[in-house]
Amino acid sequence: MQHTSAPLQQPWGQPSAAQLAQAVCIEDLRQIAQKRVPRMFYDYADSGSWTESTYQANASDFQKIHLRQRVACNIAERNISTVMAGVPVRMPVAIAPTGLAGMQHADGEILAARACEQFGIPYTLSTMSIASIEDVAEHTTAPFWFQLYVMKDRDFIGRLIDRAKAAGCGALIVTLDLQVIGQRHKDLRNGLTAPPRITLKNALNFATKPRWCLNMLRTQRRGFGNVLGHVKGIDDMSSLLSWTGEQFDLTLNWSDIAWIKERWGGKLVLKGILDPEDAKLAVACGVDALIVSNHGGRQLDGALSTIAALPAIVDAVGHEIELWLDSGIRSGQDVLKALALGARGTMIGRPYLYGLGAYGQAGVTRCLEILAKELDLTMAFCGHTDIRAVGRDVLCSEHTAR
């Protein structure tokens, strides 16, 4: 099917340098995003499933890990750049795939991808993005990564993989932990849809977000761009919603990875690993990296936080494959702790969405600047000058004995 990209409008209401400078941590960006993004979309990004215990533990378990401060070390020259899946990165952080990013801010996926391109880290586009693969490729120059949900319609999935190849995507990330969808109470209460269903409750809330509304009126990207017009019989949002609800594949298993790997032919990453036995099965598939992830606490509530699950997975397969971690990172210190426990890289979802919702592309850049500075300074306090040499020695003794 022919793809026609909509023009990219300059977002209305760009932040000043002074406004950006006032955001000194990720929590500052979160608070601004909460004020600017309609409730249903803010809640979609900043919530978990059921009681949200795993969602909360993802962040709080990082705080239980104590760092080992060192002094009188020569820390004059420091380096936080490294490599993830063969790609040089300015810091060991990539953007995790997040659905509906284009509803946090108009044209959000394109703006975020541009921020990552300029900063020097990889951006990952979700299957359930608002902007399409082709849209992001047309408005950026650096190769981005693409995340794949495996659906029952294998013809569509095959064509989606082919589209990612044609767009020059540098890696395919297959998400394994969404065969069924966790019950997310806030989404159910808000009646989440994209584009939003206009009810009196939603209309009243939108009226308090004029900047968001004006920018959304100026873009044509308000549906799921990777699906609409690419599936037979799916031409509007009502038909798309019913199709999506039926499409997540309950039969997905390890043998499907071989078909995806052959069809894709490039770097392949598996996301959603929480158990050492699953990690061993994933390694046997011959992929390039694994992501220790619990979907941001949005799937199985009561599961381990990712930072708690990481050490056992490192022990099981860390010598065989590159491991990354997502879910729960809110600071550069969290990045350092993940690396100290054996991850080779990390991915962030909510922190960049907060920046996007707060200030668009400039907000994403500000998020990345904050994380990089925190990572660099924390590494220095721990007596290290090269992020690639960070190990368990930066942690206090209760975290090093294994």
344 marked as part of a ligand binding site: no
158 marked as part of a ligand binding site: no
In a domain, 224, yes or no: yes
159 marked as part of a ligand binding site: no
In a domain, 299, yes or no: yes
Question: For position 198, what pLDDT does the model report?
Answer: 80
329 marked as part of a ligand binding site: yes
244 marked as part of a ligand binding site: no
Q: Scanning the structure block, which residue is given the tokens 């426990």?
A: 341
Question: For position 1, what pLDDT does the model report?
Answer: 41
Question: For position 261, what pLDDT does the model report?
Answer: 98
Map residue 25 onto helix, strand or coil.
coil
Residue 295 annotated to the active site = yes
pTM: predicted TM-score of the whole model, two decimal places: 0.95
Question: For position 199, what pLDDT does the model report?
Answer: 87
327 marked as part of a ligand binding site: yes
328 marked as part of a ligand binding site: yes
Q: What domain count does the chain have?
A: 1
In a domain, 8, yes or no: no
In a domain, 124, yes or no: yes
Question: For position 9, what pLDDT does the model report?
Answer: 84
Question: For position 248, what pLDDT does the model report?
Answer: 83
**Which residue range forms the structural domain that includes residue 340?**
18-66+77-368
Q: DSSP labels for 143-204?
A: --EEEEE-BS-HHHHHHHHHHHHHTT-SEEEEE-S-SS----HHHHHHT--SSPP--HHHHH
Cα separation, 115 vs 348, in Å, equals: 14
In a domain, 396, yes or no: no
In a domain, 142, yes or no: yes
In a domain, 184, yes or no: yes
Contact 350, 46 (CB under 8 A): yes
Q: Of 105, 295, 384, 399, which one is the catalytic site residue?
A: 295
Terminal CA-to-CA distance of the chain, rounded, Å?
A: 55
With a cut of 50, list the residues of the chain below it in pLDDT.
Answer: 1-2
CATH number at residue 155: 3.20.20.70
In a domain, 397, yes or no: no
Cα separation, 270 vs 289, in Å, equals: 7
Task: Give the phi and the psi of residue 172 in degrees, each rounded to 5.
Answer: -110, 125
